[in-house]
């Protein structure tokens, strides 16, 4: 194998050959480690990675009899460094938590292990999963951000270092990195995957999500993590042509020309393939939805981190301190009003989507910016994080500078399977095979 050329192997195919015993978890682990050795100096996707531990975990997986193996047997998963892990540090992207060891695994991590997978390593997160970037750079161009806050998870999958990873989203932390790195990033309906044991920035908004190279891989990983019966392991084939809404922009931000052209082109191709696509205007009563999210997010973060900030303000970034100060200054009544607005938004957008299978919209305002001091603008994700609707980003092309562009596909709460089926169909019509 040439470690400088990424493997075309996808998660569902790897699961199949591991289950048959045609390939060992150890061989897969060695492939991952070789790829990391060849690429990670420029990317730095990992907060904690111990090759000896990886090999031992892979050997342990290989020792399990074929007949008793779980649905993700032998699969190595990158885990964002805000998930508690009993056997690796959990530092939350902050110097305050350097060397911190959790007493037990987060529930999502425990489910991974029960399914036969193992934690390959902990991936870099922004500081407390907010905006201050970590060390990770974009695998397509190391001068560009990979997005955040699930920076390392997205970059590692994009670079072919692992086949799957998990992350979280409070505003745009799954979808934006997926778009910037050219992979599939899936954020299920809020609450579908338990958040227990994961650092909570905003308990009303935080959600666990999955990364893989394609929709099928992201769905498979989510199906194992989700409460039973909520997400199917394989996206269903469509029984009829799709009815889609096309929301080309959001009132609180501007989408750049290249991203709009790529999305318009994708819409044209999907129409030619048989989808009915209706262009939509953003509903005027919700032009402030991003501010509703901000009120809830920062007020809850300020409350949750109050004692840490009081003690450790100097070891927190100015960006985070300013956000927490803003959240603390928000009157309780404003926060409660924002929660009521959120409930209304869920009702309103559920009705808005009732006659459609899903929404097509930009996942980010453009390709990943050439800036390592920020993680880009999450504006295209705010509405769907506020409502807790399921969303997935898939790559559809590349900007002139070579960086990926994507489409975000969204559906109403609990329509995860329908959304994944739509996304898998769109992915088949808009093939994107490029890797960094």
Partner 1 sequence: MKRAKRHASPTLLKPRNPVARSPLLGKGGAHGKTGAAKRRQAKVELARISRNPDEIE
User: Binding to partner 1 (CB under 8 A): which residues in 346-405?
Assistant: none
Stretch that binds partner 1, among 17-25, 81-89, 280-288, 317-325 (CB under 8 A): 17-25
Q: Does 264 bind partner 1 (CB under 8 A)?
A: no
- Residue 166 and residue 79 in contact, taking contact as beta carbons nearer than 8 Å: yes
Q: Does 3 bind partner 1 (CB under 8 A)?
A: no
The structure tokens listed for 140 are: 């397509």
Stretch that binds partner 1, among 4-12, 366-374, 393-401, 427-435 (CB under 8 A): 4-12
How many chain residues interact with partner 1 (CB under 8 A)?
16
Q: Which residue number, 61 or 419, has a Cβ lying nearer to partner 1?
A: 61
For the chain, what is the radius of gyration of the CA atoms? 20
Residues in the chain: 436
Measured CA to CA, the distance from residue 289 to residue 209 in angstroms comes to 22
Q: Does 30 bind partner 1 (CB under 8 A)?
A: yes
- Residue 401 and residue 287 in contact, taking contact as beta carbons nearer than 8 Å: no
Q: Does 1 bind partner 1 (CB under 8 A)?
A: yes
Stretch that binds partner 1, among 15-23, 142-150, 334-342, 356-364 (CB under 8 A): 15-23
Instruction: Considering the candidates 25, 149, 223, 385, report the single residue annotated as catalytic.
Output: 149
CB of residue 15 to partner 1, shortest distance in Å? 10
3-state secondary structure 23-50: CCHHHHHHHHHHHHHHHHHHHCCEEECC
The structure tokens listed for 134 are: 């970590």
Stretch that binds partner 1, among 11-19, 147-155, 243-251, 369-377 (CB under 8 A): 11-19
Nearest to 293 by CA among 351, 250, 352, 259: 250
Q: Does 38 bind partner 1 (CB under 8 A)?
A: no
User: Binding to partner 1 (CB under 8 A): which residues in 415-434?
Assistant: none
- Residue 173 bears catalytic tag: yes
Query: Strand 243-246 relative to strand 276-279: parallel, antiparallel, unpaired?
Result: parallel
The DSSP annotation for 338-404 comes to: HHHHHHHHHHHHHHHTTT-SEEEE-SSSSSPPS-SS-----TTTHHHHHHT--EEEEEEEE-TTS-E
- Residue 232 bears catalytic tag: no
Q: Of 7, 141, 232, 350, which one interacts with partner 1 (CB under 8 A)? A: 7
Nearest to 35 by CA among 161, 155, 154: 161
- Residue 204 and residue 412 in contact, taking contact as beta carbons nearer than 8 Å: no
Q: Of 4, 22, 240, 314, which one interacts with partner 1 (CB under 8 A)? A: 22
Q: Does 26 bind partner 1 (CB under 8 A)?
A: yes
Q: Which residue number, 12 or 139, has a Cβ lying nearer to partner 1?
A: 12
Q: Of 13, 96, 238, 273, which one interacts with partner 1 (CB under 8 A)? A: 13
49: left (phi over 0), alpha (psi -120 to 50) or beta: beta
- Residue 382 bears catalytic tag: no
Q: Of 4, 31, 33, 42, which one interacts with partner 1 (CB under 8 A)? A: 31
- Residue 215 and residue 416 in contact, taking contact as beta carbons nearer than 8 Å: no
Nearest to 178 by CA among 137, 146, 144: 146
CB of residue 11 to partner 1, shortest distance in Å? 11
Q: Does 10 bind partner 1 (CB under 8 A)?
A: yes
Instruction: Considering the candidates 173, 202, 385, 393, report the single residue annotated as catalytic.
Output: 173
Measured CA to CA, the distance from residue 300 to residue 370 in angstroms comes to 31
User: Binding to partner 1 (CB under 8 A): which residues in 276-295?
Assistant: none
Stretch that binds partner 1, among 23-31, 112-120, 143-151, 326-334 (CB under 8 A): 23-31
CB of residue 210 to partner 1, shortest distance in Å? 19
CB of residue 8 to partner 1, shortest distance in Å? 5
Dihedral angle at the C-alpha atoms of 163, 166, 172, 177, nearest 10 degrees?
-30
Which parts of this chain interact with partner 1 (CB under 8 A)?
1, 7-10, 13, 16-17, 22-24, 26-28, 30-31
For the annotated catalytic residues, the residue numbers are 80, 149, 173
């Amino acid at each position: 194998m040439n470690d400088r050329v990424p493997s075309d192997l996808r998660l569902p195919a790897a699961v199949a050959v591991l289950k048959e015993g045609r390939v060992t978890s150890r061989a897969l682990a060695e492939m991952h480690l070789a790829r990391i050795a060849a690429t990670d100096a420029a990317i730095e996707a990992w907060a904690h990675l111990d090759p000896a531990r990886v090999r031992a975990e892979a050997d342990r997986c290989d020792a399990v009899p074929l007949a008793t193996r779980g649905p993700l047997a032998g699969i190595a998963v990158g885990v964002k460094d805000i998930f508690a892990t009993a056997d690796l540090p959990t530092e939350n992207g902050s110097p305050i938590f350097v060397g911190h060891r959790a007493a037990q695994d987060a529930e999502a991590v425990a489910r991974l292990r029960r399914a036969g997978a193992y934690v390959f390593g902990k991936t870099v997160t922004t500081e407390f999963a907010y905006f201050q970037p970590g060390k990770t750079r974009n695998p397509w161009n190391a001068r560009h951000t990979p997005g955040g806050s699930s920076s390392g998870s997205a970059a590692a999958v994009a670079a072919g270092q692992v086949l799957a990873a998990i992350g979280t989203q409070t505003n745009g932390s799954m979808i934006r990195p997926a778009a910037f790195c050219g992979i599939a990033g899936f954020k299920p309906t809020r609450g579908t995957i338990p958040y227990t044991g994961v650092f909570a920035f905003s308990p009303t908004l935080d959600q666990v999500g999955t990364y893989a190279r394609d929709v099928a891989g992201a769905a498979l990983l989510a199906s194992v993590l989700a409460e039973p019966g909520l997400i199917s392991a394989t996206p269903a084939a469509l029984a009829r042509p799709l009815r889609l809404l096309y929301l080309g922009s959001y009132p609180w931000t501007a989408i750049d020309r290249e991203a709009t052209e790529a999305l318009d082109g994708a819409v044209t191709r999907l129409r030619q393939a048989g989808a009915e696509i209706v262009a939509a205007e953003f509903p005027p009563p919700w032009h402030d939805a991003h501010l509703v999210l901000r009120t809830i997010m920062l007020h809850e973060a300020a409350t949750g981190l109050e004692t840490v900030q009081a003690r450790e303000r100097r070891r927190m970034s100015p960006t985070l301190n300013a956000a927490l100060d803003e959240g603390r200054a928000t009157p309780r009544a404003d926060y409660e009003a924002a929660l009521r607005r959120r409930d209304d938004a869920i009702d309103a957008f559920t009705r808005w989507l009732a006659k459609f299978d899903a929404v097509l919209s930009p996942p980010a305002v453009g390709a990943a910016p050439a800036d390592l001091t920020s993680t880009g603008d999450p504006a295209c994700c705010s509405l769907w994080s506020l409502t807790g609707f399921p969303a997935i980003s898939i790559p559809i092309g590349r900007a002139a500078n070579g960086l990926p562009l994507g489409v975000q596909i969204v559906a109403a709460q609990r329509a995860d399977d329908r959304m994944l089926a739509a996304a898998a169909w769109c992915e088949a019509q808009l093939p994107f095979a490029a890797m960094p």
